[in-house]
Structure 1
Amino acid sequence: MGDSFSSGLGAPGVSLDCGRSPQGYPTLWAQAHGITSFTDVACGGAVTDDVLAEQIPGLSADTDVVTITIGGNDTGWGNQVLTCMQSGDSACTNVVDQAVAGLPAVAAKIETAYAAIRQAAPDATVYVLGYPLLFEETAGCSAWIVPNQFQRKKLNRFGRALNQSIAQSAAKSGFPFVDTQAFFAGHAVCSSQAWIHPVLNPTPLHPNANGYRYGYLAALTSVTG
């Protein structure tokens, strides 16, 4: 369940409708655990309202494991990046500050989605996966066009705050939180071995195949075994 980070957007072989890839972490995890059939309702661009309206019906009382990454689109994370790059440092600071201040409202939406998941799949173990930090914060950068160092630090500040908020919501709901940040360390945009696509890419700021396998899958496996 969830958004493009759940669907596998950025990895090869994505579907045209929801950007689902067989190299996204749900399929990789299922394959690693010998699961030959499962329901994948994750969809690129999804917000919490989409989870409630379109993805919850994919669950049932027989569902035993659920994975979800959701919340990033509700916060306008992509708009923050564009504002930083197009409007400068002051506007970047303002838009990030506003997004951080808006996290409690987003958390309420996330918790509503979590409650609906629990109701639809009462016996399932629900793993909530967070987001990687998108940028390395070092001065040098090998990517072509990216936010400057000041902006990258601001945007990562939001990423950390978003993950903290999601982790708190997961804990309130009784769901284990899977923190992916450490697994992507040294492999964000501006690293020499990036696992996240740069801004100028058909799937900007999403993990590539290595990101899903060595970042997301590794993080999930560290919790589930």
Structure 2
Amino acid sequence: MVFSARIAAAAAVTAVLLAGCSPAPGDPSPTTTTTNTPTPTSESAIAPPVRSYVAIGDSFTAGPGLAELRDDAAFCLRSDHNWPSLLARRLDPTSFADVSCAGATTHDVLQRGSGPGAARPQIDAVRPTTDLVTVGIGGNDGNLFASLISACTGGQEACGQFARGSAPAILQRSVSDIAAVLSDIRDRAPEATVLLVGYLRIMPDSGSCATIGIPDADAAAVSGAEELLDRTLADAAERAEVQYVSMRKASRGHDACAGTGAWTNGAAVRDDDGVAFHPRLAGMQAVARAVEAELAKR
């Protein structure tokens, strides 16, 4: 009973994080800087030189709960150990703007938020001279991720219904919205390399575990929703004619049930290693390596 309550509490905090976090009113675009954060572990291929790098995304990019918040984090919970910061340390661009924000949707990338003094759209950080833009977005559209976690940790038999019914409908609408983000970025920075970056797995290929707190009976439905999100992102990238860096295959065996090998957290979180149902530092390092390897192909 105590453990179940802990799972429910973690799910509630995650839902608030995803649905409610947005930049502070009037929050300007982050100061353009270069990073001095730890590099991703292991050897990486050499990527071509980058002068100006902009990172756009939601909490899976921003890295809430990891190490120190960036000075420009405001309420976006951007970590100086998120994967764009690790990548920027490797690339050493002249300028680096991380505008990722916990809770961000495709609307937050393209449009100013509602209310007086609302934050600027993330896309405002992209300039004609920007030569690299990475994008990690889509999981919050239609409140997808928060609703999935809430339905599948609530013990009310709502998981399968949401994962097989509501999630596909949400993602069908999301394809065009994600593609629009990518196309608008290309319009603003015609010479830039634009990469859409996917989400790390939370669920294993089969079954569940106490760390995640989702019943075995619902595991297949949640895993299927994760796979559908991956396909949705791939479709959006294809529509916009940009490269998609999928992390689904790369993170097989590194799901939240993988113990010390996990790249994501379940409901249980170690201190200073991310928040519930989000990337750990090892996951951020893995994404940084994967993006750098993709850049090295160019």
State TM-score, norm by structure 2.
0.70
The equivalent residue for 1:31 is 89
Picking from 204, 208, 219, the partner of 2:290 is 219
- Percent identity, aligned pairs only, is 30
Aligned length: 222
The equivalent residue for 1:180 is 247
1:181 is paired with a residue of what secondary structure? Answer: coil
1:84 matches 2:84: no
- Cα RMSD of the aligned pairs, angstroms, is 1.8
Shift of 1:181: 1.2
Taking the TM superposition and a 5 Å limit, the aligned residue runs for 1:62-211 are 62-75=129-142, 76-89=144-157, 91-97=158-164, 98-139=166-207, 141=209, 143=211, 146-193=213-260, 194-201=262-269, 203-211=275-283
Q: Return the alpha-carbon distance in structure 2 between the equivalents of residues 70 and 139 of structure 1.
A: 27
Q: Return the alpha-carbon distance in structure 2 between the equivalents of residues 139 and 173 of structure 1.
A: 35
Q: Return the alpha-carbon distance in structure 2 between the equivalents of residues 99 and 68 of structure 1.
A: 21
User: Which portions of structure 1, spanning 4 or more consecutive aligned residues, are displaced by more than 3 angstroms?
Assistant: 137-140
Shift of 1:138: 4.6
Q: Deviations over 1:59-102 (max 9, x none)?
A: 1100000001000000421211211221444x211101211122
Shift of 1:217: 1.2
Q: Deviations over 1:158-184 (max 9, x none)?
A: 111111111111111111000111222
Cα pair distance change 1:41/1:16, threshold 3 Å: closer
Where do 5+ consecutive residues of structure 1 fail to align? none
Q: Which amino acid aligns with 1:133?
A: R
2:194 is paired with a residue of what secondary structure? Answer: strand
Structure possessing the higher radius of gyration over alpha carbons? 2
Which of the pair is proportionally richer in helix?
A: 1
Where do 5+ consecutive residues of structure 2 fail to align? 1-55, 112-120
State TM-score, norm by structure 1.
0.91
Cα pair distance change 1:83/1:55, threshold 3 Å: same
Shift of 1:141: 2.5
Shift of 1:8: 2.1
